[in-house]
């Protein structure tokens, strides 16, 4: 499903045992287990509660299910936040969940998504590490809900620069992918190949396994044969192994060049 980017908390570069364990589970699609590891700290710590929310929203994006659990986690996080940065981050997660619900046809929450992301923009300080994620999500909303390619391009470009400045490599893999997709739409296949290849490289380096198959199919769509067939076959193998993304599993069944979303 095009546009279901899930870049949120985390860069894949962890420095403590809990975060290492959460990353390993999350990157393999074990979202419930990753959320369970965060349960104790998420009960009292806003950062952990927001991270747990982001993990469960990512599960929704890759499986198309788990919406109620994500909403419950989000409300719990919203009850804990105290600072403007935390409130802004919570609003950003609410906007993302509402956007995803709209995109997947669960319920039209486009107005809620716009309002929440606008509230996040007003709350987050200029230098906040959450700003690039917010820019990326505003780009998704512009591209797939408002159908505003110029606005999406500007937001993705800001998000890419911010992800680079903050060292958020996972987010950078998403911004590369979406900028590449826009280059593909404009007919610039060389730039599209470059962006899709960078997105794939970063995900492989980070060990973000659930994001590798979408990156492979995106690159396959702009590659020539026989490389395109090889990339799609590898993507199909990974999807069968991991069981996600659910939307990509359906697209790859006939082995067609799938328009990737991650």
Give the pLDDT band (50/70/90) at residue 249: confident
| Closest alpha carbon to 211 in 48, 6, 44 | 6
Length of the chain: 262
Please write the tens of the pLDDT for every residue from 152-180: 999 999 999 999 999 999 999 999 999 99
Please write the tens of the pLDDT for every residue from 183-217: 999 999 999 999 999 999 999 999 999 999 999 99
Please give the C-alpha separations between residue 93 and each of 52, 74, 174, 182, in angstroms, as whole numbers.
Answer: 11, 7, 17, 24
What global pTM score does this model have? Answer: 0.92
Find the angle CA(198)-CA(199)-CA(200) to the nearest 5 degrees.
Answer: 90
| Closest alpha carbon to 159 in 96, 250, 224 | 96
């Amino acid at each position: 499903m095009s546009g279901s980017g899930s870049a949120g908390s985390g860069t894949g570069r962890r420095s403590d045992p809990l975060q290492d364990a959460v990353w390993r589970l999350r990157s393999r699609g074990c979202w419930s287990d990753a959320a369970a590891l965060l349960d104790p700290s998420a009960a009292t710590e806003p950062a952990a509660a927001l991270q747990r929310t982001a993990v469960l929203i990512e599960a929704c994006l890759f499986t198309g299910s788990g919406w109620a659990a994500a909403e419950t986690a989000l409300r719990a996080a919203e009850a804990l936040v105290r600072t403007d940065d935390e409130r802004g981050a919570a609003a950003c997660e609410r906007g993302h969940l509402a956007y995803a619900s709209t995109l997947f046809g669960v319920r039209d929450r486009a107005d809620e998504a716009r309002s929440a992301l606008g509230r996040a923009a007003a709350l987050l300080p200029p230098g906040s590490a959450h700003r690039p994620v917010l820019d990326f999500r505003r780009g998704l909303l512009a591209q797939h809900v408002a159908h505003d390619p110029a606005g999406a391009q500007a937001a993705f470009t800001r998000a890419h620069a911010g992800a680079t400045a903050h060292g958020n490599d996972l987010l950078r893999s998403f911004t590369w992918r979406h900028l590449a997709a826009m280059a593909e739409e404009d007919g610039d296949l060389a730039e599209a190949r470059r962006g899709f290849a960078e997105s794939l490289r970063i995900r492989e380096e980070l060990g973000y396994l659930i994001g590798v198959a979408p990156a492979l199919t995106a690159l396959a769509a702009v590659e020539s044969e026989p490389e395109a067939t090889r990339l799609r076959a590898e993507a199909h193998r990974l999807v069968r192994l991991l069981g996600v993304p659910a939307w990509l599993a359906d697209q790859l069944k006939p082995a067609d060049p799938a328009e990737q979303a991650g």
